[in-house]
Amino acid sequence: MLNDTLPRYFDPRKYASNEVSLTGTIALSEFKELAVLLASNKGDVIVSLNFKVDEDRRYIANGNIKAQVEMVCQRCMKPAPYSIDTELSLAFVYDEEHAKSLPAEYDPVIMTDGEVILAEMLEEELILALPVVAYHEESGCNPIALKYASSTDEAADDEQKPNPFSILAELKAK
Ligand SMILES: [Zn+2]
């Protein structure tokens, strides 16, 4: 369920003009696409956003999202904890063209009919905050899995992990 204090939809222009601050929690189970990437959908996302109009008259929001999630460890296939703690710097735009003209420090969020669905916006940011591949700390992993995986881990890390910024660029380009 959405927390009482968090709206399901919002108008970023109104929020920015009124310098609204949003804080609250959303259950991880609200995020269906994120859930596919997690070992469990138990827990909450803590959201904090401060809206304002910047000096170039953009509608923006700064803040952060925090969540304790569990991903599947790719060595032993058991749940491994991961802490999401991501700073957000969002700018609300009308379309892709405006998104492309934003300064690099902003993540574009495209408004539909002047509104944004909060959960959709947050879900994208949460997915971007996850590591491509999750592992336990070595001390927390299954020793047998560790023994067989350790010789290949380092080589695999270098070659297979896509640069997170290239993924971000791809998503933005869509
Ligand atoms: Zn493990």
Residue 116 lies in a domain: yes
What is the pLDDT at residue 163?
A: 61
Question: Separation of 46 CA from ligand 1 center, angstroms?
Answer: 26
β pairing state of 116-117 and 107-110:
unpaired
Report yes or no on 19 lying in a domain: yes
| pLDDT value for 151 | 58
**Which amino acid appears at position 163 of this protein?**
N
Number of structural domains in the chain: 1
Map residue 141 onto helix, strand or coil.
coil
Distance 67 CA to ligand 1 centre (A): 20
Residue 145: predicted pLDDT: 87
Residue 73 and residue 79 in contact, taking contact as beta carbons nearer than 8 Å: yes
How far apart are the C-alpha atoms of 106 and 89, rounded to whole Å? 5
Stretches in the chain below the pLDDT threshold 70: 1-4, 150-174
Q: Answer yes or no: is 4 within a domain.
A: no
49 strand-pairing partners: 22, 63
Ligand 1: distance of its center to the CA of 4 in Å? Answer: 37
Domain hosting residue 143, numbered range: 9-173
Query: Cα(first)–Cα(last) distance of the chain, in Å?
Result: 29
**pLDDT at position 148:** 82
pLDDT attached to residue 168: 62
Give the per-residue pLDDT at 1. Answer: 42
Ligand 1 centroid to residue 15 C-alpha, Å: 43
Separation of 131 CA from ligand 1 center, angstroms?
15
